[in-house]
Amino acid sequence: MPYRYRVAAVYLLGFFLDLINMFISNVAWPEMGRELNAPVTELAWISHGYLCGLTLVIPCSAWLTQRLGAKRLIMLSLALFTLGTLASGLASGLEALVAARILQGVGGGLLIPVGQALTWQLFAVHERARLSSAIMLVALLAPALSPTVGGLLVESFGWRWIFLSSLPLALLTLVLAGLWLKPTGQQTPRRPLDVKGLILGSAGLFAILLGVTQAGNPAAHLSALLLLASGTLILWLFVRRNGRHPYPLFSLPLLADPLLRYAMFVYQCIPGIFMGTSLVSIVYLQTQLSLSATQTGMLMLPWALASFVAISFTGKMFNRLGPRPLITAGGLLQAAGILLLAQVSSGEQTPLLVGAYILMGLGGSLSSSTAQSTAFISIASEAMPEASALWNINRQLSFCFGVALLSLLLAVLQGLMPAPRAYLFTFSLAAAGTLAPLAYHLRLNNQHIKNQLIQKEH
């Protein structure tokens, strides 16, 4: 197997591990609550702990890559992730479980940006669309499989096995990383770490993440607002320091690249809004239309099949069509799916429900896989570690913002109007938000991007 495919395999295995452990724990909350004698508000820290670990470590992933080299850092991240996984499965109480999840998040937070940067550097620009398709397929499998697999493990063996079942794959990935990855030589002079900048950046990001996760809870609106305000202020101080520091933690000028900036915006508006729409639709279908949890979960199957079609199409057609028509089609399809979902008024309207999820699967995955392929077209190879860190922070924030924004919107509207109208308005505004990236299309030189891809292919 060529070296670059071995690197890609290690990265994709690590990415799958990260996503599975991000999504799989929610299904076990009821049993965890009974065994650990903890309410739902405290159980939420099982997810918050993982996000905390990710947030604290992603900002220094580029600096650590420079100091340790990509191979050693990937192996360190896998080792930390494996230890965190084992500790999560053996945790004796909620505090120990949250601490173990933080350790897991640190491992995942290092693995994803570093593995992505190393993999991207080994593939030519015109080859990255197919690589993005493979990444998006992994991103598709995790949320599609997690609820079913997690439920079976909890019912058959107990909640601890949702963590312990990841150990064989984590150990295999660690072994493959040791055998397959080559040590990377020192390419640039070592730079000192901006410790104060790291503290500011991590604290600001964590405050914002915690604020948006609490925004949907009516009892925590004040604390969420305070967290968001303080996080924004801290990030502003971080940006000021970063711009003046001789060795900045992030190369924020990378955001001047229009393609990276545009792809990050697409991720906020389309995959991010879908995450929020998905959560709101689960509540809507079960509370308003009386569907069972199993019936609601089954709707992810047509979504997954449609997503597979969209991702495969993007991998084949991105170089030929460029990003503009694909993202235009993706935004329109997802908006149409959300609006169709808003028209469903009875649990017996199964064809409409299936059609809505098919449209959302096609649109969301068409846009997200295209954005992934577009983001790094103009990024120089040596800047990939920093660009990858920025991309992954944006990806994490997009999921949190989408869920928090639509949850908060629904809560506000339910206080102003009957529940059915509140859901209708929430879905309608979500569809409008999905179309926001299309306003940028006039500034996107699609033909120039296609010419770049053709030139680099030949």
Using CA atoms, how far residue 314 sits from 123, 342, 359, in Å, is 17, 28, 16
Q: Please indicate, yes or no, whether residues 282 and 312 belong to a single structural domain of this protein.
A: yes
- Residue 183 DSSP code: P
Q: Please indicate, yes or no, whether residues 289 and 342 belong to a single structural domain of this protein.
A: yes
For position 283, what pLDDT does the model report?
75
Share of residues in the chain with pLDDT > 90 (%)? 30
For position 218, what pLDDT does the model report?
66
Output the average pLDDT for the chain: 84
pLDDT digits (tens, 9 = 90+) for 132-170: 888 878 877 776 777 667 777 887 888 899 899 999 999
pLDDT (mean) for 246-259: 83
Q: Please indicate, yes or no, whether residues 39 and 57 belong to a single structural domain of this protein.
A: yes
pLDDT tier at 109, thresholds 50, 70, 90: confident
Cα 263 to Cα 401: distance, rounded to the nearest angstrom: 16
Contact assessment for residue 440 and residue 313, using Cβ atoms and an 8 Å cutoff = no
Q: Please indicate, yes or no, whether residues 397 and 454 belong to a single structural domain of this protein.
A: yes
Q: Please indicate, yes or no, whether residues 60 and 88 belong to a single structural domain of this protein.
A: yes
Q: Is residue 398 part of a domain?
A: yes
pLDDT tier at 456, thresholds 50, 70, 90: low
pLDDT of 187 strictly over 70? no
Contact assessment for residue 45 and residue 53, using Cβ atoms and an 8 Å cutoff = no
Q: Is residue 417 part of a domain?
A: yes
pLDDT tier at 335, thresholds 50, 70, 90: very high
Q: Is residue 188 part of a domain?
A: no
Alpha-carbon radius of gyration of the chain: 21
Instruction: List helix spans (H) across 270-349.
Output: 271-287, 293-298, 300-321, 323-342
Q: Please indicate, yes or no, whether residues 350 and 434 belong to a single structural domain of this protein.
A: yes
Which of 393, 398, 402 is CA-nearest to residue 55? 393
Q: Is residue 315 part of a domain?
A: yes
Q: Is residue 137 part of a domain?
A: yes
Q: Which domain holds residue 374?
A: 251-458
Q: Please indicate, yes or no, whether residues 345 and 433 belong to a single structural domain of this protein.
A: yes
Residue type, position 32, single letter = M
For position 180, what pLDDT does the model report?
93
Answer with the residue of higher pLDDT: 313 or 399: 313
For position 387, what pLDDT does the model report?
87
pLDDT of 54 strictly over 70? yes
**CATH number, domain with residue 62:** 1.20.1250.20
Share of residues in the chain with pLDDT > 70 (%)? 93
Q: Is residue 189 part of a domain?
A: no
Report CA torsion sign: 136, 137, 141, 144: positive
Q: Please indicate, yes or no, whether residues 93 and 200 belong to a single structural domain of this protein.
A: no
Answer with the residue of higher pLDDT: 447 or 215: 447
pTM: 0.78
For position 32, what pLDDT does the model report?
82
pLDDT (mean) for 380-387: 82
Which of 230, 248, 266 terminates a domain? The answer is: 248
pLDDT tier at 217, thresholds 50, 70, 90: low
pLDDT (mean) for 300-308: 87
Q: Is residue 186 part of a domain?
A: no
pLDDT (mean) for 383-399: 83
Q: Please indicate, yes or no, whether residues 233 and 171 belong to a single structural domain of this protein.
A: no
Answer with the residue of higher pLDDT: 222 or 356: 356
Q: Is residue 394 part of a domain?
A: yes
C-alpha dihedral (165, 169, 172, 176), degrees to nearest 10: -160
3-state SS assignment for residue 264: helix
Q: Please indicate, yes or no, whether residues 237 and 266 belong to a single structural domain of this protein.
A: no
Number of domains in the chain: 3
Cα 271 to Cα 284: distance, rounded to the nearest angstrom: 20
Q: How many CB atoms lie within 10 A of CB 222?
A: 9
Q: Please indicate, yes or no, whether residues 444 and 344 belong to a single structural domain of this protein.
A: yes
For position 3, what pLDDT does the model report?
93
pLDDT (mean) for 300-324: 88
Q: Please indicate, yes or no, whether residues 271 and 404 belong to a single structural domain of this protein.
A: yes
Which of 411, 432, 407 is CA-nearest to residue 212? 407
Output the six-digit token pair for 199.
């503290």
pLDDT of 186 strictly over 60? no
pLDDT of 252 strictly over 90? no
For position 458, what pLDDT does the model report?
54
